[in-house]
Structure 1
């Protein structure tokens, strides 16, 4: 039995009928690479069954403390049933991209049963008419509660069900599964009492780690190394109100080589900077078309993994975050990239000054009952409408493999992600990289983005503008020009080179 951290538990408390808190992906496979050239659902089922021992998340469920007086615990589910978690549907003809996006939106909008292991796999067949993909592909839609994994720990589940060749690796025969009995109320309350005694010590340690960080941040701000302008609230847009129970999903794909080529045009820029600039441009185009583009720049929250080397396989979330302004007020694409590059550098410096792990530790300080109550009241009373948003959207990067991977013999040809939205933050952009592609997909509230294809097109337009843009030469400042002139050797002017006229001589007068 293992207790959830405060950060993991917060996703349980935030889970409501209008804000299901699971993340996931849409992975599309080409079955022609599998032995025999096809994959049956029973083959997929057996494949997943043979890999259950490779990830703890598969067979663990939550046990909640009475009245949420303390954070929940993970236990091995005694009644685990794989058939509940692996499902099978098919798209009607023609099986195009729009139909798949609508189906994914519906699946994502449905919350999960918090009394069972918090994951679902849905196999979708009938993908026969998607541009750029082989006919006969199938999709695997994965849903995993955010309390169980973050983007980095989700890599463990991806690794568990995939192989590096089209011939599936022989898995050892599944071990017998017993599970464990849920703890009784007395044991849970005793653990709660012990944790309450330890809480003041945690508080003291977190504050002790924070004080030097705040001092460093203040010193850097005074010295001009860090700007605190980005710490102010974000402008309100149509993305920043209460959300409905309905979702939309879509995305677009870019060549990774082109993204790298854009990055190389600006000194110090990274691939992440380019992606944030594309998102900034997409938001600019889309909100302008909806007559909702504010004068100030929109901000996005970008999660940062704080996993140590030995924590890569740990369950749950080990993330901090930085908030970056994405230059939606800037029309020129390259100027926007330069702006975003500076903003990310500044945000990283602010986060590093205090310490990303220290910021994460603050989630442990709020009492569980208070955290759960606050989450419920925030939604019930639409408090998101009563304050300026801290950020407008989320952009999370999930690095994928650079080599082909296979699921039950079928080659993965494309992968996109989706995530939760909640009151005050109605859009999440997920960046997936795989082989030579980088995909930006998004989830939003259907009431906020009723036309998801238009935002997907806006992202594509923003990328094309950025790829075709030229870097403008910077004019030299007057001071630099003056210094250059002063350092240059003196040269005679053309007039100085003309021959001087001889002076007139005095003519002596004759006497007489």
Structure 2
């Protein structure tokens, strides 16, 4: 039995029927590389074999009315691969649009909390003879870094099936114990939490003081609730719209080297430019710059005694996007400066503050508040926290094989929130920059316009290099 950290559990508490807290990996694969040829039953059998060495895929949630702390993970003793790996055909003609529409429908469905919180959909019938695999996992069980680690366990350097890690095979979350769950929860709640609060408050007070000092020097990252309102900043429904695009990583590096910036600066400049184009086409571009929230991994950061070990080790950095600058080169240069300011400010803040405060997340209360917040459309009653969530995750720069099939594209797709209805996630792998875009269909019915704008943004920057 393994108790969830406060941050992991918060993704459970924040979830409503409209605000779904799962993350998605969409794989484009070439089945012709599979030893012995492609068959769905082979894919499912190989997935079942590898899960023996992936403990995160074998655990499920458990809780008790007597438990006043966060839920726990336990081993699923009745694990059945057929409840997790499914097969579906994409409608004709089987193009990218049809795949995205099908994935958007699947992304709008909740995961069953009575079993391990993941599922894999094998999508057949693509026009070019390829296959897609859509993996959904609840955010309570993964973040960007751990997701990449899980990818490494499902992917190999060659098509041949790997040997399983004996240590991982023997790893288990353990059985349920209602007595231990309730007793441990009571100790955490009545003893550990008051002590943690006493230590956390002094560390937290320095954050607004430092923010105010930097704001007076014009060197602070944007504060929450200071973003201009856009169509993305409204209540959401369960309906999801998805689009993907793939850019050359060499082209992005060429732009980076030519202008002396970082890859993340190029990515953020393209995000700002793409959203500028999209909002201009809808005659909705704000006068002020858009604000993005960039998740930052704290894996490997020095952990304080207030932090409970968990899967999600992440904090967030706010940065302005240079969406108000019409020239692509000036936009990139301005973005590099904006990003540098935000990084310097963010580096002064304790990386574990968010995770420490998350330990105090009240499950039942937070779930109730979140439901009322969504049902009453309260996201429209206050200024937006930020405009768009932008993640940039570095992956392996070499070919991979997913369950024996060559991977030709990996597109990450993150969650969206009430009032924050656009998520753009970038994953670099095997010489490509893979971009996944998720929006609420009621706000962004045409996400392909944003995806196509990324292509245009890179072309403009490359032309400037010439």
Question: What's the TM-score once normalised by structure 2's chain length?
Answer: 0.92
- 3-state SS of 1:354 partner: coil
Which among 226, 231, 249 is matched to residue 238 of structure 1? 231
Map Cα deviations across residues 73-132 of structure 1 (whole Å, 9 max, x no partner).
11111221111001111224321111111111111111101121000001111222xxxx
- 3-state SS of 2:336 partner: helix
> 2: CA distance between counterparts of 1:26 and 1:182?
33
Which among 295, 318, 343 is matched to residue 303 of structure 1? 295
How do 1:283-322 and structure 2 match up within 5 A? Answer: 283-308=275-300, 316-322=311-317
> 2: CA distance between counterparts of 1:208 and 1:310?
18
Map Cα deviations across residues 289-328 of structure 1 (whole Å, 9 max, x no partner).
11111000111110000011899xx752100010111111
The runs of 5 or more residues in structure 2 that have no matched partner are 304-308
Return closer, same or farther for 1:467/1:347 CA change in 2, 3 Å cut-off: same
- The equivalent residue for 2:306 is none
> 1: CA distance between counterparts of 2:152 and 2:311?
17
The answer (yes or no) to whether the contact 2:3–2:73 under 8 Å persists in 1 is yes
- The equivalent residue for 1:78 is 77
- The equivalent residue for 1:97 is 96
Deviates more, 1:365-374 or 1:78-87: 365-374
Which among 174, 182, 187 is matched to residue 176 of structure 2? 182
Work out whether 1:337 is the aligned partner of 2:344: no
RMSD: 2.5
> 2: CA distance between counterparts of 1:165 and 1:396?
29
Question: What's the TM-score once normalised by structure 1's chain length?
Answer: 0.84
The answer (yes or no) to whether the contact 2:27–2:410 under 8 Å persists in 1 is yes
Return closer, same or farther for 1:169/1:188 CA change in 2, 3 Å cut-off: closer
The answer (yes or no) to whether the contact 1:230–1:325 under 8 Å persists in 2 is no
- 3-state SS of 1:264 partner: helix
Return closer, same or farther for 1:216/1:48 CA change in 2, 3 Å cut-off: same
Deviation at 1:217, TM superposition (A): 5.3
- The equivalent residue for 1:60 is 59
Work out whether 1:421 is the aligned partner of 2:416: yes
Return closer, same or farther for 1:363/1:171 CA change in 2, 3 Å cut-off: closer
Work out whether 1:203 is the aligned partner of 2:202: no
Return closer, same or farther for 1:382/1:257 CA change in 2, 3 Å cut-off: same
The answer (yes or no) to whether the contact 1:79–1:179 under 8 Å persists in 2 is no
- The equivalent residue for 1:369 is 364
> 1: CA distance between counterparts of 2:83 and 2:374?
30
Work out whether 1:32 is the aligned partner of 2:32: yes
How do 1:78-227 and structure 2 match up within 5 A? Answer: 78-128=77-127, 135-171=128-164, 181-184=175-178, 186-197=179-190, 198-211=192-205, 224=217, 226-227=219-220
> 2: CA distance between counterparts of 1:215 and 1:390?
20
The answer (yes or no) to whether the contact 2:224–2:386 under 8 Å persists in 1 is no
The runs of 5 or more residues in structure 1 that have no matched partner are 129-134, 472-512
Work out whether 1:469 is the aligned partner of 2:457: no
The answer (yes or no) to whether the contact 1:321–1:356 under 8 Å persists in 2 is no
- The equivalent residue for 2:9 is 9
> 1: CA distance between counterparts of 2:227 and 2:73?
37
> 1: CA distance between counterparts of 2:155 and 2:115?
24
The answer (yes or no) to whether the contact 1:146–1:316 under 8 Å persists in 2 is no
Return closer, same or farther for 1:15/1:125 CA change in 2, 3 Å cut-off: same
Deviates more, 1:365-374 or 1:159-168: 365-374
Which has the bigger relative contact order, CA under 8 A and spacing at least 6?
Answer: 2
The answer (yes or no) to whether the contact 1:230–1:347 under 8 Å persists in 2 is no
